[in-house]
Every structure is written in C-alpha cells, then in structure tokens.
Structure 1
Amino acid sequence: MKHIVCFHLFNDYSGSPKVLKMVLQGILDKGYEVDLITSKGGVLDELTGHANLKRMSYGYHFSANPVVTMFRYLGVQLYTFLIAFRYLFQKQTVFYINTLLPVGPALAGRMMGKKVIYHYHENAFVKGAFYKILATLMQKLAHKIICVSQYQRSFLGRKSGVCVIPNALPKEFTSRLHPDAEAAFGRQTVLMLSSLKEYKGTREFIELANRLPQYKFVLVINDTDKNIDKYLKDNNLTFVKGGGNLIIYSRQSDVIPFYNSASLVINLTNPLFAVETFGLTTLEAMTNGLPVIVPIRGGIAEMVENGINGYKIDVQDLKNITEQICRILENRNLYSSLSANALKCSAKYHYSCTLYNLINSLEE
C-alpha cells in the first residue's frame, strides 16, 4: 500500500489536526503518496514541500447558529462523498478518516470496497445524540478504529479491529522546547490552552487568577479576539486588561513560546459535559518538564499520577486547585520532583513509536 487518502473536516489549530499533521509528515517522509482533503486556514496548511502530497481544500467554518453549522457540515459531507469516487479505479488506496466527522467519504469508501481506517479522537458517548450516531456509523463502516486512550476505547461496543495508539508530538515541536525546572519555577506562571466552549473552564481560570494575584496567569483560547471579547462580555467575566495578573491571548499558530514561559499547565475541562480522550496540551507541558493539573476522568487522567508528575482534581473544586497551585509554586523541592517525573513520563509517548504503530495499522 502506497497511497493514502486522508479526510479531515475542520482544519484549525486544535489537537486533532495537530496530530494529523505529525502523522502525515511522517508518512510522507516514508515515501507514501498522500491526498489530503480538508478545509483551509489551519495547521494542516503547513504541510508543504512534498512532491508526493496532493491537497484539495474547501471553505468551512462554524456559525453561532447551530442550524447553519449543520447545513454547512452536511454540504461538506456531500462534497467529500462525491470527491471520494475519483479513487474508484485506483488500487491499493486506503481511506484515512481523521475524527468521527467525515462520514461522507467513509461511506463512499466502503461502497467502493476501499479499506477505511478511522483515527478516533473524540468520545462520542459523553456527547450528544449526533455524535453517538456518528460513532455507530464509524463502528459499521471502519475496517479498523485507532483510539488514543484505553478510556476512549472502553466505550466502544465493537471489540475487533480496534487498537489504542496514544498521541505523540512531532520532532520539530519537541526540539524547540527548553525544559529547565529551576527557571520554570522562578516564572511563577500558570498556563492554560483551550477553546471557547463553556465547559473548557475559561470562567474557572479567570476565577483562579482573581484568587491568586501573586501569580501570573496566561490563557490561550483557540478563537478570534472578537469572539473572545463577546464571550467575556456576555458572561460578565471581568479582569484588568494590561494591568492585572491575567493575560488572555486569541488563537496562536505557535504555542511553544507559551510553554517555554510557563511554570505549571492546567486543564479545566468539566467531565460532566465533555471528557478529554487524550490531553495533547498535557503531553506538550510534560515534554517541557512542566507539572500539570488535570480532571479526574478521561484519557487525560491516564497520563497523570497524583503527586508524581502532577495532580488529578475535580475541576469544580476550585479551593483544592487553588491550594495545589500554591503548594506547587511555593515548594521548590516538590516542583523539581514533579518536573523531573513529568519529563520522564512524556518519554512514553515518543514520536517514533506512535508513527511506527500508525503505519503498521495502515499497512495491515
């Protein structure tokens, strides 16, 4: 097999397209031919300079109106369903479906007798009915399903043709990180990277900053300044712009400088509404030797041992989180231990191992 056709719905700077970019980069370096069909305007646009890469793009973005978003989504599914048939007479072609959402090309692939492989990043069973329907279709259409954690896999009714391959970070990312526990401890900076969903913890992060004025808080939100300002205004979330201990940044194409300027990275996703199936920002943090605080459930919780490389805390228990932040940032010996163990733990998620297992899954 030398030809992979990859479908990804929404190309932005979130976790799943970042992982996909890493995977495709590795596959291309191995000499495979790759056709990538996705939207414009995200991290996958950086895949350039490969003679064996072909790219097809379409316009797609979310709307504040869910009905409009659904019509746009259905339009893309019809478009990619039809595009898929250009591969009807091409042998040894694998359809690589990234996330649950590109169901149109997955259906077309099965109709044509192509091998269909899903890289499953979400946990549909803690989301709404729409995602559960997509997960059911995935289990019917896929020849193989690649999960990113044991937690995520445990929800699938299907047991055969399912494997777990944890995510990893590309070499060009890790090579620019600068682990230094002594310097990081001195920065006294708490970092969170998230999206603008209510359950992602923006409100709670601002409250933590208000409770702990002695530390610097940095929040990077994967959205536009306009949408962030509207969200803050609509929810009466106030902080001192330019003069307080909290800085909020909009969508960033390069987050490495934020990790190199942080002391501690936290994730405040509320598992009552959404569960992190992996935790890419947690891995990015640990690879830079930064301790982490994460929710108590999900694939992200599999990455953390309490008191070893970080802490698992109920995200609604802000009192406990506040106390642990103080404990970590005021105890140099504890910080050094957490930092060293975070770096050690990150080695389990090595790029070469992940890529080897993914290529084997595509080849089988």
Structure 2
Amino acid sequence: MICKDFAMRIIAIHLLNDYSGSPKVLMQLLKHWSEQQLEIQLYIGNPNKGFLSEIPKINYHYYGYSFARNPLVRFFKLFGSQFWLMLLLILRLKKGDIVYVNTVLPFGAAIAGWIRGCKVIYHLHETSVKPRLLKVFLFGVLKLTAIEIVYVSHFLAQQEPIAKKAHIIHNVLENDFMVQSQKNKNCHKANPVVLMICSLKPYKGIEVFWALAERNPKINFKLVLNATKGEVEAYYKGQKQPKNLILYTTQENTHPFYQEASIILNLSDTQLWVETFGLTILEGMCYGLPAIVPPVGGVVELVENGRNGYLIDSKNIDLISEKLNELISDKALYKKMSDNARAKSGHFSEANFKRKAMLLVSS
C-alpha cells in the first residue's frame, strides 16, 4: 500500500460519462487507486450518469462538454471544451502530477500536462476515429505529449504502434461481477435468447441484428442500446419491429440480460469500426454464453473460432443465422462452447489488472 502522505496526485480525464466500456475501465482503475490512498482528481465533460458517477474518495470537476448529434456542432463542442480544459489544467497542475487521459479525445488535458512537465499517460481504447483528419490530429497530440501508453489489447498495440513506453492491460471483470455470474448456471434453454449490447450506431451492426431477428422468427432477440427512449424511438421511427425482437434503452444493471440469454453477439462493421476489445462479449462469456464476433480486432483475443464461439464477418448474415440455429439445436455443442466461454473469461480477472494498475503510477 502507498502511504497517505505520498505527494503524487492522479489527474484523470474522460470526455463523456456513460455506461460504455471506456468509462467502466477507468472506473475500475480509479477505485483501485483510491483504495491505495492516492489523491485522485477526475475531470469529465459533465455530470451525466454513468460508470464514473459517485465513485467514493474521488474529487470531481466538470469542464462543460455535452454530446451533439450534428457532426459540426459536435466538432466545435469538442474543441471548445478541450481549450477550456487545457486552460484550467495549466493553472491547476503541479509538476509531480500524473495526467491520465482516457481515450484519445480529451487532448486538452494532454497538452496542459505536457506544458506543465507532468507525466502524461494515455489509456488507448480506439483505432476507428473518423474523420481521418481528426484521427491524425488526436494521435499527433498523443505522440507529442504521452510518456506512456496503455493499450486494451495486443491487436490495438499492433494497429497503433507508437514509440513510447507501452503497457498491455486487457479489460477485466470485477470480482463482484464474476461472483454474481457464478450463481447462474448457464444451460441449454427451451426459449433461447440472442443478446447484443452496444451503442445506437449503424456501424455497431444494429441493422444486422434486426435482420437476424426477421430471419429467425422462432428465436428471441434482445438489443440493449446505450441510448435514451427518445433516441431509440427516433432512430427506428416508421420501421415495423419484428415480434421476436425487444429493444431496451441504457441499463445500469446488465446482469439480468446475461442471465436469461443463450448467445451473445457483436456485429460491428469491420469496414467502419474495428473492436479493440469487447467488454460485453467478455461479460457474456463469464455467464457461459457462446459468442459470435467479427474475425478481426481485439475480440479475437477473447473468442476462439469453433471453441467458445465463432468468428464471422457481420455482412455474412446467412452464416451467422446458420450458426445461431446450430448452437440452439445441438445441446452437446452448446454445452461445450458454454463451458469453454466461461473458462476463457476466467483469464481476465481483477488480480493482474490491479498489479499492472499500480505499476503505472509507481514507475
């Protein structure tokens, strides 16, 4: 344990708090660091409810960013908020601080840390940043300012090689999550449910999921979207929803969905978005759910084709549909893949994550 009079502060920065993967990983880091009596200042765009809300022993600051659907408005909001964040931190940072930038988006914090001579660490979650010019700018700031980089997968480290001190820290499952999942003994269900949890974005394959439901009327499909009721209704306005498809808005507690599901999917369009890890897939595997995921990206570090799921491009709807029906109809195959999925998820526990987390701030 680090003693309470240790002078170092961690200044953690994130853009948009919600219930997606990147704020969840930062939450896990902050909880562990706070348990070690480190002083943590957290800067996020605004007090939206999400994984970063109400973490004990954390000092919160907000710098006025809010998401906008219009790309041009969103661009100006991003750059305006980062300019303001940069000015705030230039005035507040101390040279001994660690500036921990979660995702490439809060670039203002990285510039401020670089100007003040702080140790800047980036936690890199993404490679698919559009438009291309924005990616060039954001990764240019990263290369200029970062002292160390944390990658969420080996794939991402290979995809975005940067000449800095690098760490691979896979996303992991919290102990509480694993304990709760162990109470659920997954089995071949009489009324199978195919589950997908993702953002309300076309590149996440939500239209493919809809099409799979239409093709397989005897199978139940559940789509949990990180969006409000109004956003979901506006997106699907005028479309005839299949009777076997249920849409859900943002969920704070996803355990009930994993408990009743049979199979979990990730259908991201690899031409538009490459998954760098796949936390919902890992969570589903912990519940013994076989997974069908794209054949590229960080998700292939979780799913072994034919062992605990299948690697299939989301454009190949025929093959995905075939494998879904095969898993549902073959009890022996399902049990083998379910057992293998649960066993694989056990490799992503908190113990190693915590050890690496402390190395980041003590080296």
Using the size of structure 1 for normalisation, the TM-score is 0.93
Q: 1:181 is paired with a residue of what secondary structure?
A: coil
Amino acid at match of 1:66: P
Of the three residues 232, 237, 240, the one matched with 1:238 is 240
Of the three residues 18, 32, 38, the one matched with 2:38 is 32
Describe the shift of the 1:308–1:171 C-alpha distance in structure 2 as closer, same or farther (beyond 3 A).
Answer: same
1:107 aligns with 2:114: no
**Superposition deviation, residue 58 in structure 1:** 3.9
Q: 1:208 is paired with a residue of what secondary structure?
A: helix
Q: How far apart in 2 are the matches of 1:59 and 1:283?
A: 33
**Partner of 2:3 in structure 1?**
none
Q: How far apart in 2 are the matches of 1:74 and 1:148?
A: 26
Q: CA RMSD in A?
A: 1.7
**Partner of 2:90 in structure 1?**
85
1:262 aligns with 2:261: yes
Describe the shift of the 1:128–1:238 C-alpha distance in structure 2 as closer, same or farther (beyond 3 A).
Answer: farther
**Superposition deviation, residue 148 in structure 1:** 0.7
Q: How far apart in 1 are the matches of 2:67 and 2:339?
A: 40
Amino acid at match of 2:246: I
**Partner of 1:3 in structure 2?**
9
The answer to whether the Cα contact below 8 Å between 2:123 and 2:149 also exists between their aligned partners in 1 is yes
The answer to whether the Cα contact below 8 Å between 1:40 and 1:59 also exists between their aligned partners in 2 is no
**Partner of 2:324 in structure 1?**
325
**Partner of 2:216 in structure 1?**
212
**Partner of 1:150 in structure 2?**
154
Q: How far apart in 2 are the matches of 1:220 and 1:248?
A: 6
**Superposition deviation, residue 140 in structure 1:** 1.7
Q: 2:346 is paired with a residue of what secondary structure?
A: helix
**Partner of 1:54 in structure 2?**
59
User: Which stretch shows the higher mean deviation, 120-129 or 133-142?
Assistant: 120-129
Describe the shift of the 1:117–1:45 C-alpha distance in structure 2 as closer, same or farther (beyond 3 A).
Answer: closer
Q: How far apart in 2 are the matches of 1:319 and 1:237?
A: 22
1:46-86 CA-to-partner distances (Å, cap 9, x unmatched) read 33332xx2111244322221111111111210121122124
Amino acid at match of 1:128: R
**Partner of 1:192 in structure 2?**
196
Q: How far apart in 1 are the matches of 2:56 and 2:112?
A: 29
Amino acid at match of 1:340: D
The answer to whether the Cα contact below 8 Å between 2:128 and 2:274 also exists between their aligned partners in 1 is no
Of the three residues 144, 149, 168, the one matched with 1:140 is 144
Q: Which runs of 4+ in 1 moved over 6 A?
A: none
Q: How far apart in 2 are the matches of 1:290 and 1:107?
A: 43
The answer to whether the Cα contact below 8 Å between 2:101 and 2:120 also exists between their aligned partners in 1 is yes
**Partner of 2:206 in structure 1?**
202
Q: 2:180 is paired with a residue of what secondary structure?
A: coil
Of the three residues 61, 65, 68, the one matched with 1:63 is 68
Q: How far apart in 1 are the matches of 2:76 and 2:96?
A: 33
Q: How far apart in 2 are the matches of 1:64 and 1:91?
A: 37
User: Which stretch shows the higher mean deviation, 135-144 or 108-117?
Assistant: 135-144
Describe the shift of the 1:32–1:71 C-alpha distance in structure 2 as closer, same or farther (beyond 3 A).
Answer: same
Structure 2: runs of 5 or more not aligned = 1-5
Q: 1:12 is paired with a residue of what secondary structure?
A: coil
Amino acid at match of 2:119: K
**Partner of 2:252 in structure 1?**
253
**Superposition deviation, residue 10 in structure 1:** 0.6
Taking the TM superposition and a 5 Å limit, the aligned residue runs for 1:284-295 are 284-295=283-294
Of the three residues 125, 148, 163, the one matched with 1:121 is 125
1:157-199 CA-to-partner distances (Å, cap 9, x unmatched) read 42341221111122233332244122x5344000001111111
The alignment of Structure 1 onto Structure 2 pairs a total of residues equal to 355
Q: How far apart in 1 are the matches of 2:96 and 2:180?
A: 37
User: Which stretch shows the higher mean deviation, 56-65 or 31-40?
Assistant: 56-65
The answer to whether the Cα contact below 8 Å between 1:278 and 1:298 also exists between their aligned partners in 2 is yes
1:1-27 CA-to-partner distances (Å, cap 9, x unmatched) read 642110001111111001111111111
**Partner of 1:299 in structure 2?**
298
Amino acid at match of 2:207: R
Q: 2:347 is paired with a residue of what secondary structure?
A: helix
**Superposition deviation, residue 128 in structure 1:** 2.8
1:253-296 CA-to-partner distances (Å, cap 9, x unmatched) read 22121111111100000000010001011111111111100001
